Structure 1
Amino acid sequence: MADTTAFRNFSRKDEQIVTPDLRINQWQHTLRHAPLQDILIWAKETFGDTIVIASSLGPEDMVILDAAHATGWTPHVICLDTGVLFPQTLALLDQACHLYDIHIELITPKQSLADQAEQYGPRLWETHPDVCCRLRKVEPLRERLADASAWITGIRRSQSPTRQTAEVVEWDPIFSRIKVNPLAFWTHDAVWEYIHQRQVPYNPLHDQGYPSIGCMPCTQPSDGTSERSGRWSGFTKTECGLHR
């Protein structure tokens, strides 16, 4: 197990202060090659009960839920319900809640799809996908994270060029919180090896040519040229705005 003792006395008084770069650098050095379960234990002990796991029920997210369960941790898990998630994603959410005996909090936008269409026009994702993502993902998550000490994600460096500098622990300027990416240095094959070895459930759409799964209107099967291919087809957009 990684030696994280020096970082477990994180002062709760420091939570509202921008974490010094030195502290983050120390965490990065200590945890970069630590086992997944050790990183999760460290995150829980360091940031307390208000840390949250943000899950879209992707393969990486399911690996994190399984590993957290294996440590005996029942974390706060949140999922952005945009109103246009695939039925398979929602079914997997229910399966994960039952399997790991957890509650997954659904975070919903302030506007319904009908209200959004009335204000911005129908099918906003086809005309201004960045605006749609901001309304249905970024702003709801920002409001939820206001009460969180830190958040855990499933992003990996090899998923896309926009994520290739991700660290296991980093300061998130988008949400002004510490962000923990325990799988940052994992490969695609390592994720799926874990899933098959541990028999972790996953979205069946992955077996139908979907390398990455988001909202129904913005996700298509692809030839697998990249791990983010199939998202926002016809646009240069590759991120919803949650990750820089």
Structure 2
Amino acid sequence: MPRSDLAPRVARLNARYRHHSATAVLEHALHDPDAGSLALVSSFGAESVVLLHMVSVARRDTPVIFIDTQMLFAETLVYQQELAERLNLSDLRIIRAWDAELQRHDPDGRLHQTAPDACCALRKTQPLQDALAGFDGWITGRKRYQGNSRADLEFFEVEDATGRIKVNPLAHWAPEDLRSYMEENRLPRHPLVAKGYPSIGCAPCTSRVQNGEDPRSGRWRGQQKTECGIHFVNGKIVRQGENA
């Protein structure tokens, strides 16, 4: 779809579905011409099962992109396989960085220790951008409560740098909404949640969270870094809320 009308289309989508529920936003987005061709990008992390289940109900053949950084917890890989089978996801696409790129930029697997942003770019951002080629937009599980950079999140966003739309059906949900949805639908939790990991990324960069800490405090603990990079291009956030 043409990039020239991206902002007007996103504005129309936000106006059209402003007062809809998360499930309605997702279902309509998957069929609305203004949204175009969409893929769900999922980490199969702590809260991913909610959006995966919604997609499996609304449109099971929606492409689901899972980025295997090759540094994930073993529990995440097992959980991904179990969920894909349980939800009968018919178009799961597992992507990884090219071996040649890993050999060139991170031959000893220690890049995350010295340059975590570069590691995320190598193992997550670039593979994802390659996988999203041909799609008009992608569906994310981001929510407003997850941090300051997401506090004004809308259902639909402009991603100017790539010419794609982002769809955030769970933008307005709170933690209790997620818990209720999982309980009502009897969905399995990621096994690491019960062990103190409310936000789960790569194993070397994820630590347990203590009671009272922010749920994302275990990601890149002790560093200024708060995002993996897939929502940024050239170090800048690649979204622009359209709510006018």
Q: Common fold, TM-score beyond 0.5?
A: yes
User: Would you say 1:228 and 2:223 are equivalent positions?
Assistant: no
* Per-residue deviation, 1:115: 4.7
Distance 1:111-1:218 versus aligned 2 partners, 3 A rule: same
Identity %: 35
* Per-residue deviation, 1:116: 3.5
Distance 2:11 2:104 in 1: 44
User: Would you say 1:24 and 2:10 are equivalent positions?
Assistant: yes
Distance 1:242-1:18 versus aligned 2 partners, 3 A rule: farther
The one of 61, 64, 78 equivalent to 1:77 is: 64
Higher helix share: 1
Distance 2:69 2:57 in 1: 29
Distance 1:16-1:111 versus aligned 2 partners, 3 A rule: farther
Distance 2:96 2:5 in 1: 29
Alignment partner, residue 107 of structure 1: 95
Distance 1:107-1:174 versus aligned 2 partners, 3 A rule: farther
Distance 1:182 1:51 in 2: 13
1:97–1:104 CA contact under 8 A, matched in 2: yes
Root mean square deviation, CA, Å = 1.9
Q: Does the residue aligned with 2:166 lie in a helix, a strand or coil? A: strand
Alignment partner, residue 10 of structure 1: none
Q: Does the residue aligned with 1:184 lie in a helix, a strand or coil? A: coil
Distance 1:218-1:174 versus aligned 2 partners, 3 A rule: farther
TM-score computed with the length of structure 2 as normaliser: 0.86
Distance 2:36 2:82 in 1: 24
* Per-residue deviation, 1:163: 1.1
2:46–2:199 CA contact under 8 A, matched in 1: no
Q: Does the residue aligned with 1:151 lie in a helix, a strand or coil? A: strand
TM-score computed with the length of structure 1 as normaliser: 0.86
Alignment partner, residue 219 of structure 1: 206
Aligned-partner residue type, residue 153 of structure 2: A
* Per-residue deviation, 1:27: 1.3
Aligned-partner residue type, residue 89 of structure 1: T
Which of structures 1 and 2 has the larger relative contact order (alpha carbons within 8 angstroms, sep 6+)? 2
Q: Which runs of 5+ in 2 are unaligned?
A: 232-236, 238-244
Q: Which runs of 5+ in 1 are unaligned?
A: 1-14
Aligned-partner residue type, residue 164 of structure 2: R
Give CA-to-partner distance per residue, 1:15-45, whole Å, 9 cap, x none.
1324343332221122233122221221211
Give CA-to-partner distance per residue, 1:99-124, whole Å, 9 cap, x none.
11114211101236555333xx6511
Alignment partner, residue 12 of structure 1: none
Aligned length: 228
Aligned-partner residue type, residue 228 of structure 2: C
Give CA-to-partner distance per residue, 1:108-157, whole Å, 9 cap, x none.
01236555333xx6511111000000111111111111111210000001
